[in-house]
Structure 1
Amino acid sequence: MEHANEIAMLLGNFGFPILVSIYLLVRFEQKIGELSDRVNSMARTIEKILIKDKNK
């Protein structure tokens, strides 16, 4: 019975922070993916502009 109380206390103390951390990591991963896509798009656009200027 003591183990059940200890487990419940550990979950009470650490469960919420762990869930919040996991949630934030998932959100940041999505945002980083979006930023990466945008940076790649900008790089392609700059490359196209430089190629156009070089061909003039």
Structure 2
Amino acid sequence: MEENLQNLIANVGFPIALSMYLLVRIEGKLTKLTDSISELSKNIGAVSK
């Protein structure tokens, strides 16, 4: 039973950790992208007036 649990953690733990790391990194980039798009929309609105 312990061996099965250790294998499960070894096989599944790394992909879970990697996924969490990538999700955290992508979240920050998505936030910056959202802010940039909002600023661009404001600038386009100001130019078109």
Q: Distance in 1 between matches of 2:20 and 2:5?
A: 20
CA distance in 2, matches of 1:6, 1:26: 30
State the identity as a percent.
Answer: 35
TM-score w.r.t. length of structure 2 = 0.90
Shift of 1:22: 0.7
d(CA) in 2 for partners of 1:33, 1:40: 11
Q: 1:13-32 to 2 correspondence within 5 Å? A: 13-32=11-30
Cα deviation for residue 11 of structure 1 reads 0.5
Structure 1: any 5+ residue segments left out of the alignment?
A: 52-56
> What amino acid sits opposite 1:45 in the alignment?
N
**What are the equivalent positions in structure 2 for 1:1-56 lying under 5 Å apart?**
2=1, 4-51=2-49
Q: Tell me by how many angstroms 1:26 deviates.
A: 1.0
CA distance in 1, matches of 2:42, 2:5: 53
Q: Between Structure 1 and Structure 2, whose CA radius of gyration is higher? A: 1
Q: CA RMSD in A?
A: 0.8
User: Which residue identity is paired with 2:31?
Assistant: G
